[in-house]
Structure 1
Amino acid sequence: MNSVIVMTQTSNYSQDGLSIVHKPLIKIEPLSFNLDLLKLNYDWILFSSKNAVKYFYPYLQQTSYRYIAVIGKKTKAYCEDQGIAVDFCPNDYSQEGFLADFQASAHAKILVPSSQAAQPLLVDTLRDRGLNVTKIDLYKPSAWSSHVTDIDQLLAQHKVGAITFASSSAVNAFFNRSLPETTKAFSNIYAIGQQTLSTIQQYGVEAKVADEQTLDGLIEKVKESWM
């Protein structure tokens, strides 16, 4: 099969026997924030992505906390690679899975360093439970326009068999514009999880969703549905 799988997340991914073209749709821009927030005492620090760990790591030693919670197998693995002990990671790697399993004492103080563009579900739900949540906007995503154009060209040349999306930010970078006809007509699209799927559907587009919210799970869904 000559068609390629276009993957749009920031991290590289490969699998033997598959022709994968990596076209990240998002660039990451670090943001400044109020450093006084690091002087508070937290019960939990919650990392929902590898990027959150990466960009908060320089501040971790300055922060007083008791426990670390993470969402996602890759996030947990990255923490462990950096020598950060993880106290809680749900078996279901989605935000919904985290919210279903996470338990904290009443009025616990939770620090959530994350993207400025992060979906509000996580923080809002924790606050609704009476937890004291502080969110730090660590970085913001911006569209990688040349890669968007590259994907359009591959689609126009009928070289693409599937496109995968691993975040709402990547979805917005791709669909929030006037689409070329060949791009608009392409329908073999895959989402890593329900939140990413929901964002895709906001553009009137349908997608298949991975059974496990990991890049491996995403590729397994592509293989199961397309190959």
Structure 2
Amino acid sequence: MKPIVLMTQTHEYQDQRVAIKHVPLIETVALDFDDKALCPHYDWLIFTSKNAVKYFYPYLKLIKYDQLAVVGVKTKQLCDKMKIDVDFCPTDFSQEGLFNQHPFKKGDRVLIPSSRQARTFLQNALKESGIQVTKIDLYEVQPKYESIQEILDTMMHRQVDAITFASSSAAHAFFEAKPPHNENIYFAIGQQTAQTIRKLGYSCFVAEVQTLESMITKIVEKRFYNDGI
């Protein structure tokens, strides 16, 4: 029998190796922002997520920028699908990866439209490097409490083999509800999400690469190991 996996990210995903049920823990809501941030000419525009691409797309024709950097292969794939040219994507799919490999120059003007709750590492690190950063709170993340309860009920009835977390926002939404400490079923897509889970007092497995495919591979590997195969 295939492992039963509850995937908690906002977009659906399928993999033939497992039986997936999609239970998003968060939802995104667009925010109003000061459109004066669209006026300057930027050297770089940075998208750190697919949601940032989705919510900022209507404004692309309203701003002037020279080059675009993105974080994550899925973010780049969405840009490619929407025919948005990407000039740089780090091999490490994280804010740290972008900062460590970034091609920006001191004095460059950079625009980062992202979630209100987004991590501030990238913008702070760039500012400390002499780069002018403008941050737009483009949308916010809200917990879906009915989904949290659905997962807790499923766990109580032992009807799940793995629960996946693709963002720190999803991890906060779920683990702040104080679920059972079951180290064998929690899986994180990347180190930052895993760190969030651990800071909240829980253990988890981490994907080797920060992609959903890699996370499913980790689940299958652990399932076979636990079954003694």
Pairwise same-fold verdict (TM > 0.5): yes
**Aligned to 2:6, what secondary structure does the other structure show?**
strand
TM-score (norm 1): 0.95
Structure 2 unaligned regions, length at least 5:
225-229
Contact persistence 2:181–2:202 (CA under 8 A): no
Percent identity for Structure 1 against Structure 2: 43
Q: 1:132 is matched with which residue?
A: 132
> d(CA) in 2 for partners of 1:50 and 1:185?
31
Q: 1:85 is matched with which residue?
A: 85
Contact persistence 2:46–2:69 (CA under 8 A): yes
Deviation at 1:202, TM superposition (A): 1.2
Contact persistence 1:2–1:159 (CA under 8 A): no
1:23-64 CA distance string (max 9 Å, x none): 000011100000011011100000000000000000010001
Q: 2:202 is matched with which residue?
A: 205
Structure 1 unaligned regions, length at least 5:
none
**Aligned to 2:24, what secondary structure does the other structure show?**
coil
Deviation at 1:2, TM superposition (A): 6.4
> d(CA) in 2 for partners of 1:17 and 1:167?
22
Q: How many residues align?
A: 223
Which portions of structure 1, spanning 4 or more consecutive aligned residues, are displaced by more than 6 angstroms? none
Contact persistence 2:30–2:55 (CA under 8 A): yes
Q: 2:211 is matched with which residue?
A: 214
Alignment RMSD, CA only?
Answer: 1.2
Q: 2:46 is matched with which residue?
A: 46
Deviation at 1:70, TM superposition (A): 0.3
Deviation at 1:98, TM superposition (A): 1.5
Deviation at 1:175, TM superposition (A): 1.2
Q: 1:190 is matched with which residue?
A: 187
> d(CA) in 1 for partners of 2:218 and 2:3?
16
- Residues 3 and 221 (structure 1), Cα distance of their counterparts in 2 relative to 1, 3 Å cut: closer
> d(CA) in 2 for partners of 1:45 and 1:191?
28
Taking the TM superposition and a 5 Å limit, the aligned residue runs for 1:73-222 are 73-177=73-177, 179=178, 183-187=179-183, 188-222=185-219
TM-score (norm 2): 0.94
> d(CA) in 2 for partners of 1:211 and 1:82?
28
**Aligned to 2:174, what secondary structure does the other structure show?**
helix
1:83-136 CA distance string (max 9 Å, x none): 100000012222222122112111100000000010111111111111101000
Contact persistence 1:44–1:66 (CA under 8 A): yes
